[in-house]
Amino acid sequence: MENQPQENLEKLPELVFEYSPETEFQRVKNVFSPDKRSFYQERKYRVDLPQGFSLDDDNELDEVALLEQIKREFDPEVGQKAETEIKENWIDIIKKLRGVFDQTGYNLPKKYTLKFSCYGVGGSYNDLDNWIILNIKRKEDIVGRKRTIIHEAIHISIEKLIKKYQIEHWVKERIVDLLVQKADPEAQTQKLPIDVTQIDQIFDQNYPNVEKILEEISKNYQK
């Protein structure tokens, strides 16, 4: 068997890590913002929070108590271990992403910022700044962490088209899941509270043209 060429490290997107009580505080504070709180509650998302805090609490958020509790729970070794594992698997993550991006015509950004958290949902993203939040307490094994990073990176890549075609949340999640499977065929899709049959048909008929997929869904998908 021939040796496979090594990925050129200079061509990999730069990877920046953030993990501190202050970033955790901003994460939880964002979860408690009115829009996010209602978003998670309406869709019945599981949301991890510091001990003593709940989305069902109607009292105004006590930010001083929140930061104190976060500092009590904060464990830098958890973040250090996750950082080491992800650095060791970064080439594999990028190879998988590059596989689906080469098919769909997307380019990898020059940098990803990976923010670790023990709170919130499993993963989140910001497409404007190319940052990904990974819940390292929920995603404790490297396989789950790799797939969450790939999932959120794909979200980032297609977010402009999602907004352009006004694709609703669960449909967006299904499209991203299908794209993740193109990157990693062994990845499982989420169980969603919608019928995905028509979405899957439109995806299969139009892949790898992501814009065409979203355009057809915006015109033809029936809830």
Strand runs (DSSP E) across 82-208, as ranges? 111-117, 123-126, 131-135
Q: Give the per-residue pLDDT at 223.
A: 76
pLDDT tens-digit profile of 184-204?
A: 999 999 999 999 999 999 999
Write down the pLDDT at residue 5. 43
Kindly state the average pLDDT of the residues 119-139: 95
Report the pLDDT averaged over residues 92-100.
Answer: 96
pLDDT tens track for 74-90 = 999 999 999 999 999 99
pLDDT in tens, 138-184: 988 999 999 999 999 999 999 999 999 999 999 999 999 999 999 99
CB 132 within 8 A of CB 149: yes
Is pLDDT above 50 for 2? Answer: no
How much is the pLDDT for 10? Answer: 54
Eight-state DSSP code of residue 11 = G
What percentage of the chain reaches a pLDDT higher than 70?
A: 96
Per-residue pLDDT at 1: 35
8 Å CB contact between 21 and 116:
no
Mean pLDDT, the chain, rounded, equals 94
DSSP code of 119? S
pLDDT at 58: 86
Q: Of 100, 124, 115, 121, whose CA–CA distance to 180 is shortest?
A: 100
**Domains of the chain, residue spans:** 10-163
Lowest mean pLDDT among 39-43, 68-72, 138-142: 138-142
